[in-house]
A and B are shown apart, each in its own frame.
Chain A
Amino acid sequence: MEALRRLIDQLKKPFGKGEKLEKFAPAINAFDTLLFVPNHTTKTGAHIRDSVDLKRTMVTVIIALMPALIYGIYNTGYQHFYQIGENFTFLDAFIHGAWKIVPMILVSYIVGLIIEFGFAVYRGHEVNEGYLVTGLLIPMIMPVDIPLWMVALSVAFAVFVAKEAFGGTGMNILNPALTARAFAFFAYPTYMSGNKVWVSEATTVDAISGETILGSLAAGNKIDYSILEMFYGSIPGSIAETSTLWILVGGLILILTGVGSWRIIFGGIIGASFMGILFNIWSANELMAFHWLNHLFVGGFSFGIIFMATDPVSGTQTSKGKWIYGVLIGIFCIMIRVFNPAYPEGVMLAILLMNVFAPTIDHYVIEKNILKRKKRWALAQINNVKNE
């Protein structure tokens, strides 16, 4: 390790203070800190510090995403071979999926990180680790057959408009990954909905039933998937959002490590269940009659509520606010699905909508605390006057 350290120190020399390439220091530092936690010591404030840092937190999220991603890769192959009616093994399916998805992940990381590095150098701050998660999330929520240039364009849009335009990591209003998907959804609707986009290479097949469950329901069709299939995830959909089971495993990792807010997750489940039950009672059409439990298993609800809604930057920041935020996402998600059959994308739109309202929710939670303090002050003043 000593030798490696010396080598890096040697390589970093031209990037040091007052040297020629000083401006590009954030870029080289990003690689250095990926290998070594720096030797920086505390200067002000507490003399000792926790071992947690943003890198560790973000990597925990990536670990939590792995089960869903691996299943998503398999399911891509499974859907493909199943629909064209070929025999296949697990490995065949996995290889087919990987062949499709790994390039998407690479494109997302390369395009996104180039922009992030550019802004870090331009603004003179270190590269924030947030994009490590965003860059993986974006391909995971795209339809598998979306062209790579569209992935690149969505990523660029998300990083520029949703993130850097607002001041970079920690300042964005909207979840960047969802913004990327929303951009693709509204810019290229033909690639983002319909019968054929959800199954790999479905355009080459004539008779295909590759519509998502919500899409079929919105069209007034019956669905022939069992609840177990929906839970396990062997259904058409965006790459890694279909398997509630494996997403829950990731959710468990997020909750146990404290990285994801359990308040938002449970709030979302409560809100969606409540709305689903309400619609079940009403039961005016296929979508309303769709069992509320099934609602939780399809349309990427679990993926959205566990990995998207819990984004701490675009979500609410207060504990009470997190409950309200989660519940409202659940309610709006089901409401959008049922009332607006043109957009089966209930989760995405509900989360983006609540992203916008998150600061307002926090504002009222904090205002309550302020009001309490003001009341106490007023009361104390009255007592003081009385005593005098």
Chain B
Amino acid sequence: MLKKIRIRRGVNLNIDGEADKILVELPSSKTIAIKPSDFFTIVPKLLVKEGEAVKAGSPLFFSKNNPRINFVSPVSGFIKAVVRGSKRKITEVIIASNDRDDAIIFDIDNYHKFSAEKIKEILLQSGNWPFIKQRPYDIIASPQDTPKSIFISCFSTVPLAVDYDFLLKNNKEDFQLGVNILNKLTSGIVNLGLDDSFNGFFNNIKNAQKISVSGPHPSGNVGVQIHKIDPINYGDKVWTINPEDVANIGSFFKSGKYTAKRTIAVVGNSVGKPQYYNTIIGSSISNLLDHSKINYKIKNRFINGDVLSGSTVGLDNYIGYYNNLFSVIPEGDVYRFLGWIPFVDNHILSLSRTSFSWIFSKKKFNVNTNMNGEERALVVTGEMEKVFPMDIFPMQLIKACLNEDIEKMEFLGIYEVVPEDFALIDYGSTSKIEAQKIIRDGIELMINEVG
């Protein structure tokens, strides 16, 4: 089975600092942290105390709203600290690793005879469940649901994207096994979104419908692929999962041990040696950046994720639960003299024809975090549609979210979008509106009001 979709509206941001295809094995991080803030809308309920010994796979906390969903420790060691922020909100659970491989082992013999319910139960207990996310809203899936289909986007089009074919080259069997397991959980089929120009080993994966996708970013966004193939209707649930996490689940069903592999590409202008690293979820950032030759002479921004949708972190922080990218770019807190004049400062990548930067489309652009202007009233129309390939009116949806008009948000397609789909709108906005934040707030409103 092969379906083809073609994305026309969108743009690839051609920026400097892509990772070389070199995979470096990182020494294990001394401390590991699981951050509840990585799980949108999850309220954690702690199961461990500081100083308590844990094994790899020991539950650390569960979701207050859905106690079946466990979050487990990726390593063995002891709980070094439970860091709390304002209102005693838990921000990090830090585990000191003891470098021993003490793991909780689940009985997965004859797993291919397991029922869907049994598979779910074992995924929930073992801490694999948070890998599975649901649309609408891009939150951790609810175990009571049976999704109408499962989508895995096997390529990424974000700036400086990772190559999943390279990243998973040693885990092909695990990936196939993961796909087989996921097949048991849906009433429909498992879909793989593949890059039209190159699809590598994913082409040989069985038990899945392959979707050949062509066109610029955001064509790699799984939400765009869902929208084109099997759009979400009111009440529908579609599950999504990152390719590496499919392999992690596959690995679990081979060994019975919770696998928290995370391959991270460190990318960006400020990285002297951008490359891939094999590590595990929650490793410390300082450990990750040791070999990347970061330019520390300038002020940098460290981003868990890509430069469009990632979250800013400090150097003393930990890598996120889901991201395969870690971006480091210079801060842009500098003034530009008369920089607003059309056709000056063409070294800044612009989607607008009021700059000549499009002439250098082959060039890799350097970027920084400057706003390049100030926030203004929404004036220009039509620019959002150019980078938004869904059959949805982006500006009208944004306005509905600002007005908290739930009925309108529903009918204009809030169930089909997540903030990352609006990342390019953030980028190219003349009025510098924060589309991703508006959509995230809108989704939070939907979860609270509609559920």
CB nearest neighbor in B for A256: B353
Residues of B within 8 A of A376 (CB): 231, 233
Q: Which residues 187-209 of A sit at the B interface, judged by CB distance below 8 A?
A: none
A39 near B340: Cβ-Cβ < 8 Å:
no
Q: Which residues of B contact A169 (CB under 8 A)?
A: 376-377, 379
Query: Hey, which chain B residues are within 8 Å of A374, CB to CB?
Result: 411
Alpha-carbon separation in the docked complex, A134 to B434 (Å): 27
Q: How far does the Cβ of B210 sit from chain A's closest Cβ, in whole Å?
A: 24
8 Å CB contact of B372 from A53, A366, A370: A53
| Interchain nearest-CB distance for A325 vs B (Å) | 11
* Given contact pairs A41-B370, A59-B341, A47 touches B312 in the complex (Cβ within 8 A): yes
| B365 (CB) vs chain A CBs: closest residue | A48
Within 8 A of B (CB), among A1-53: 1, 4-5, 33-42, 44-53
Shortest distance between the CB of A47 and any CB in chain B (Å)? 5
| Chain B min CB distance to A127 (Å) | 10
Of the listed residues A47, A168, A318, the one surrounded by the most CB atoms of chain B closer than 10 A to its CB is A47
- Is the CB–CB distance between A39 and B334 below 8 Å? yes
Are A373 and B378 interface neighbours, CB within 8 A?
A: no
- B271: shortest Cβ distance to chain A, in Å? 15
Q: Is the CB of A170 within 8 A of B377?
A: yes
Which chain B residues border A168 with CB–CB below 8 Å?
377
- Docked pose: A372 CA to B332 CA in angstroms: 44
CB B339 to nearest CB in A, in angstroms, measures 4
CB neighbors of A among B272-313 (8 A): 301, 303, 307-310, 312
Tell me the smallest distance from the CB of B235 to a CB of chain A, in Å.
8
Write the A255-269 contact mask toward B (1 if CB under 8 angstroms, else 0).
011110100000000
Does chain A have a CB within 8 A of B435?
A: yes
B374 within 8 A of A: yes
How long is the Cα–Cα vector from A168 to B427 in the complex, in angstroms?
A: 25
Most chain B CB inside 10 Å of its own CB: which residue of A44, A56, A63: A56
Asked if A45 contacts B367 (CB within 8 A), the reply is: no
Q: How far is the CA of A63 from the CA of B353 in the complex (A)?
A: 14
Q: Is the CB of A37 within 8 A of B411?
A: no
Instruction: Given A257-B354, A319-B385, A380-B233, answer yes or no on A128-B376 (Cβ-Cβ < 8 Å).
Output: yes
| CB of A141, distance to nearest CB on chain B (Å) | 21
Q: Chain B, 408-429, contact with A by CB distance < 8 Å: what is the 0/1 string? A: 0001110000000001001111
CB distance from A162 to the nearest CB of B (A): 15
B369 touches A52 (CB 8 A): no
Q: A41-B332, A49-B427, A129-B376 are in contact. Are A377 and B371 (CB under 8 A)?
A: no
Q: Taking the nearest CB of chain B, how far is it from the CB of A195, in angstroms?
A: 40
Q: Which of B235, B395, B427 contacts A46 (CB 8 A)?
A: B427
List A289-320 residues whose CB lies under 8 Å from chain B: 312-313, 315, 317-319
Q: A42-B369, A52-B355, A53-B372 are in contact. Are A35 and B338 (CB under 8 A)?
A: yes
Question: In the complex, A48 Cα to B13 Cα: how many Å?
Answer: 11
Range for the number of chain B residues in contact with chain A: 35 or more
Q: In whole angstroms, how far apart are the Cα atoms of A362 and B369 in the complex?
A: 35
Q: Could you tell me the distance in whole angstroms from the C-beta of A132 to the nearest C-beta in chain B?
A: 11
Chain A neighbourhood of B411, CB < 8 A: 370, 373-374
Question: B392 near A369 (CB under 8 angstroms)?
Answer: yes
- B391 on the interface (CB 8 Å rule)? yes
Nearest neighbor of A321 in chain B, beta-carbon distance: B381
List residues of B (356-386) whose CB comes within 8 Å of A's CBs: 357, 367-383, 385
| A46 & B340 in contact (Cβ 8 Å cutoff) | no
* Bound-state Cα–Cα, A351 to B149, Å: 49
Taking a contact as CB atoms under 8 Å apart, the answer to whether B437 and A380 are in contact is no
Tell which of A4, A33, A47, A312 touches B374, judged by Cβ atoms closer than 8 Å.
A33
Residue A54 at the B interface, CB < 8 A? Answer: yes
Asked if B396 is at the interface (CB within 8 A of a chain A CB), the reply is yes
Contact for A377 among B13, B234, B393, CB less than 8 A: B234
Q: In whole angstroms, how far apart are the Cα atoms of A53 and B435 in the complex?
A: 15
**Bound complex: CA of A37 vs CA of B348, how far in Å?**
13
A130 in the interface (beta carbon within 8 A): yes
Select B369's contact among A41, A50, A373, beta carbons within 8 Å.
A41
**Separation of A366 and B432 alpha carbons in the complex (Å):** 24
Known: A5-B335, A44-B434. A52 touches B354 (CB 8 A): yes
Q: Contacts A33-B374, A36-B335, A51-B345 given: A319-B351 contact, CB under 8 Å?
A: no
Q: Determine if B350 and A373 form an interchain contact, defined as CB atoms under 8 angstroms apart.
A: no
Scan residues 363-388 of chain A and give those whose CB is less than 8 A from a CB of chain B: 366, 369-370, 372-374, 376-377, 380-381
| Contact present for B436 and A45 (CB under 8 Å) | yes
Q: A37-B336, A53-B340 are in contact. Are A369 and B434 (CB under 8 A)?
A: no
**For B367, what are the chain A residues with a Cβ–Cβ distance below 8 Å?**
48
Separation of A206 and B224 alpha carbons in the complex (Å)? 71
Which residues of the partner chain B approach A47 to less than 8 Å between Cβ atoms? 301, 303, 307-308, 310, 312, 327, 329, 369
Least CB distance from A366 to B in Å reads 6
A126 CA to B371 CA, complexed, in Å: 15
Kindly state whether residue B444 has any CB partner on chain A within 8 Å.
no
The reply to whether the CB of A55 lies closer than 8 angstroms to some CB of chain B is yes
Q: Is A57 an interface residue (CB 8 A)?
A: yes
In whole angstroms, what is the CA distance A45 to B369 when docked?
Answer: 11
Determine the chain A residues whose CB is within 8 A of the CB of B368 once the complex forms: 48
Instruction: Report yes or no: A313 in contact with B379, Cβ–Cβ below 8 A.
Output: yes
CB-CB under 8 A for A55 and B353, given A39-B370, A46-B308, A374-B411: no
Contact across chains for A56 and B354 when beta carbons are under 8 A apart? yes
Q: Say yes or no: is A91 at the interface (Cβ < 8 Å to chain B).
A: no
Given A41-B331, A47-B307, A52 contacting B377 (CB threshold 8 A): no
Determine the residue in chain B with the shortest Cβ distance to A8: B335
Residues of A308-352 whose CB lies within 8 A of B = 312-313, 315, 317-319, 322
A60: CB under 8 A from chain B? yes
Question: How many Å lie between the Cα of A4 and that of B338 in the bound state?
Answer: 12
In the bound complex, CA of A34 to CA of B374 (Å): 12
B203 interface residue (CB < 8 Å to A): no
CB-based contact A130/B369 at 8 Å: no
Interface residue A171 (Cβ < 8 Å from any Cβ of B) = yes
Q: Give A63 to B435 CA distance when docked, in angstroms.
A: 30
Please measure, in the bound complex, the distance between the C-alpha atom of A233 and the C-alpha atom of B430, giving whole angstroms. 34
> Residue of A at shortest CB range from B332?
A41
Q: Which of B331, B334, B355 interacts with A51 by CB under 8 Å?
A: B355
Query: What's the Cα separation between A285 and B402 when bound, in Å?
Result: 53
Minimal beta-carbon separation of A313 from chain B (angstroms): 6
Distance in Å from the Cβ of B432 to the closest Cβ of chain A?
Answer: 7
With a CB–CB cut-off of 8 A, which chain A residues contact B382? 261, 312, 317, 319, 322
B430 pairs with A54, CB closer than 8 A: yes
Provide the bound-state CA to CA distance between A71 and B310, in Å.
Answer: 51
A126 to B374, CA, bound (A): 9
Q: What are 9 of the A-B contact pairs (CB < 8 Å)?
A: A38-B373, A45-B434, A50-B430, A51-B350, A55-B340, A55-B373, A258-B353, A261-B382, A366-B412
13 A-B pairs besides A169-B377, A312-B379, A369-B391 with CB distance below 8 A are A37-B336, A38-B373, A42-B369, A45-B436, A50-B430, A51-B355, A52-B352, A53-B376, A128-B376, A130-B379, A257-B354, A319-B382, A369-B412
Q: Which 9 A-B pairs have the closest CB atoms?
A: A53-B373, A170-B377, A37-B339, A46-B426, A51-B348, A55-B340, A52-B352, A380-B233, A37-B336
